[in-house]
Amino acid sequence: MALNDIKVYEDGTFGLPGSKSLPVLASATLIYEGEPIRKDKGQRYALPLDINKPVVGTDFMAGIATSTSTNTASVNGTVEYTPIVPGLKYLIAPKVALAGTQAAYDAVVGRSVLFDLTAGSYTLLVVNNDTYGCVIEPLDVSLFPGKICFSLRQGCSYLA
């Protein structure tokens, strides 16, 4: 996986919520800072989010990691994360580069989309479906070339 695939762009409605901690099972797979964290309802442990996720009401997340998990292959650990809150916006690279114009970017604003995971890096797809859990938000592409701004839908939270 890759460090800092996702970064906070804009604080949420009530400010940046700070970070929380979740346990992570012993495994060779770490959750890196800046990666989306899966947290299934009724389960105690955090996991890295799978490819082509989240779907609202089906895939549940805790938020975005703010630290690299401390688990090892034989010892449980923890991971710090920023929870899903209204208005919190993030930056990420698109899976397929958009034409570098503001008009091309504006044409995808409002789409509900998924994360992609390829070669250890998370990116954002731009295929729209009403059930997908990431929403593309407005962004000035001259200030952030090659990036997409997005928010996470509340229906993706394991607390929803």
Distances (CA, A) of 46 to 39, 41, 58: 5, 11, 16
In Å, the largest CA–CA distance within the chain is 50
Q: Map 36-88 to HEC letters.
A: EEECCCCCCCEEECCCCECECCCCCEEEEECCCCCCCCCCCEEEEEEECCCCC
**Angstrom distance (rounded) from CA 70 to CA 24:** 8
What does the block give as tokens for 81? 């994360």
Query: What is this structure's pTM?
Result: 0.91
Give per-residue pLDDT as tens, 81-103.
Answer: 999 888 899 999 999 988 888 99
Q: Are 124 and 150 in contact (CB under 8 A)?
A: yes
Higher pLDDT, 28 or 72: 72
**Angstrom distance (rounded) from CA 158 to CA 13:** 19
Most confident of 22-31, 85-94, 131-140: 131-140
Q: Are 123 and 115 in contact (CB under 8 A)?
A: yes
Q: ∠ CA 25-61-6 to the nearest 5 degrees? A: 95
Give the pLDDT score at 1: 55
pLDDT-derived band at 13, boundaries 50, 70, 90: low
Domain boundaries of the chain, sorted by first residue: 7-156
